[in-house]
Structure 1
Amino acid sequence: MRTVYLNGDYLPEDQAKVSIFDRGFLMADGVYEVTSVLGGKLIDFDGHAVRLQRSLDALDMTHPSDKDTLLEVHRELVARNGITDGMIYLQITRGAPGDRDFAYPPKDTPPTIVLFTQDKPGMADSPMAKTGMKVISIPDMRWGRRDIKTVQLLYPSMGKMMAKAAGVDDAWMVEEDTVTEGTSNNAYIVKGNTIVTRQRDHDILHGITRAAVLRFAAEAQMKIEERPFTIAEAQEADEAFITSASTFVMPVVEIDGVAVGAGKPGPVAARLREIYLEESRKVAV
């Protein structure tokens, strides 16, 4: 049985309880982060901590902790649960003021903070990295502030199920004829030596893995264009891939039934995955 963290306490998972009046439960009034663990160490922890603060600030939500304490909690959960490879999920909600109300509760309402681990042995050696993944396109019907990492994940979950029903691995969301992002990842195409991905704005999540991968790509002398692209452009690209904290860099080999490039993982995605894993392990905490 896992040990989890709830509001300052380490508890067996079956003893961790949250109020039915918690606004995360009633209003999806909360934010979250997922930090990967490789070799027992945290990947990109600082980036996740910074984005967590950004999400809390955007929602005028109180941070119940500080970065050093959060790091200590992450490390303690890794140790207590014997995680070598896996993930740590962190969620902060606006708390449980005592009754349901659309208005925010008073600022002194204690927020709820929850962390738990997920054991994923061998996650860096995913077979899909060698075969590539297939995606379909779906309309992007989410709210307009996708840059805030909130727990409002119903439509991305629906997108995952649409992909599953279509017999593929994931979905890319499309708005005004251009790709925004995947259901839980950032989307990219490659044409020649140029990597194309949507620019950071309110339309996409500002991915922590995205930032690292683009930095490594620039250091490798690859050209980067941050702009929208269409599904048709993606289908005609040499390569496509996604990035996320849990999949790192993952090739996309088919979009809406059309093979991308040679229909197999290409060299750019493979090299970026290799670089990302190598460099991230060097600075893991």
Structure 2
Amino acid sequence: MHCYFNGDIIPVEQASVKINDLALLRGYGLFDYFRTYNGVPFEWDGYWARFTRSAEVLRLPVALTQAQTADVLAELYKLADKPDIAYRFVLTGGYSPDSVSVVQPNFLIIAENLPKDNPEGRYRGIKVLPFEFVRDLPELKSTNYLHMIRLAAEMKSQGAADLLYHKDGEVSELTRSNFFIFKGDTLITPDQNILHGITRRVVLELAKKDFKVEIRPLKVEELEEADEAFTTSTTKWVMPVVQIGRQIVGDGKPGVRTLKLLEQFEELVTGYGLVKA
């Protein structure tokens, strides 16, 4: 596979950064991640807008325009020679003479093979562990995944797939995805201390056709009242959550409303970018 690195498209194995990059020294960097369907980048405008907003928050200039970046994506897709691929954007603080100052960010776009699908998880559901934490600057995708990696062994030992963040009595998100519950036919998702996921936005639009939608603070105690729960992301799609810590959600199986949204999302992405006659 190939990548774009500061103006050049090169094989991934040839790309490297120096040891005085602020992403390494200070964890100062951000990323984004999305994929193609039928060769077309999914919700490209939304991902670009989020990426550039994140860059503005960290005060890191982006060297390319959206149109120039789209040309890079097209070239990387052509070189990959696969039906579909994923793209990982990485923008670092760049090489710093004093380990603090930003001089020139490093901009990396990596073409990646798609991760292995988890159809069993989508129809069996996953377990998550509650964890008291709110990310710094949760509106952006920083490169800091300290707790997810630090607690990976504990999650595995408990048969959990992820952590569910909460703080001061309010639920926010999972480490890499957004969170929802159903109370009857009402869909509820947090509005604070979250990354505003693109898949989240798409699923909310699908849900509005059939369900009442509430985007608001979600209290921890409301989890006990949930009939269904699920999480959304680029790789998870609509993934049922059937257990939160020791609590079984609903009857412990993926709910019919969640599965309906999964079916609708799958139908949307299956035909994404295809021209209808």
Q: TM-score, normalised by structure 1?
A: 0.88
CA RMSD in angstroms comes to: 2.0
**1:208 corresponds to which residue?**
198
Kindly provide the amino acid, as one letter, of the partner of residue 108 in structure 2: V
Change (3 A) 1:279 1:43: same
1:95 matched to 2:94: yes
**1:131 corresponds to which residue?**
124
Once residues 59 and 270 of structure 2 are traced to their aligned partners in structure 1, the CA distance between those partners, rounded to angstroms, is: 34
**2:38 corresponds to which residue?**
39
Alignment check: 8 A CA contact 2:25 2:99 kept:
no
Residue 87 of structure 1, CA deviation: 1.9
Match of 1:189 among 172, 177, 181: 181
Q: Deviations over 1:113-171 (max 9, x none)?
A: 11213323763x6221111111111111532x111221122123335443223221111
Match of 2:229 among 240, 254, 267: 240
Residue 227 of structure 1, CA deviation: 1.9
Unaligned 5+ segments in structure 2 are none
Q: 1:181 aligns to what SS in structure 2? A: strand
Residue 194 of structure 1, CA deviation: 0.5
Once residues 110 and 233 of structure 2 are traced to their aligned partners in structure 1, the CA distance between those partners, rounded to angstroms, is: 19
Once residues 59 and 204 of structure 1 are traced to their aligned partners in structure 2, the CA distance between those partners, rounded to angstroms, is: 17
Kindly provide the amino acid, as one letter, of the partner of residue 123 in structure 2: K
1:227 matched to 2:216: yes
**1:174 corresponds to which residue?**
166
Change (3 A) 1:160 1:122: closer
Residue 282 of structure 1, CA deviation: 4.2
Q: Percent identity?
A: 30
Residue 82 of structure 1, CA deviation: 2.7
Kindly provide the amino acid, as one letter, of the partner of residue 157 in structure 1: I
Q: 1:152 aligns to what SS in structure 2? A: coil
Q: TM-score, normalised by structure 2?
A: 0.91
Residue 4 of structure 1, CA deviation: 1.9
Alignment check: 8 A CA contact 1:159 1:183 kept:
no
Q: 1:28 aligns to what SS in structure 2? A: coil
Q: 2:164 aligns to what SS in structure 1? A: strand
Alignment check: 8 A CA contact 1:84 1:121 kept:
no
Alignment check: 8 A CA contact 1:24 1:93 kept:
yes
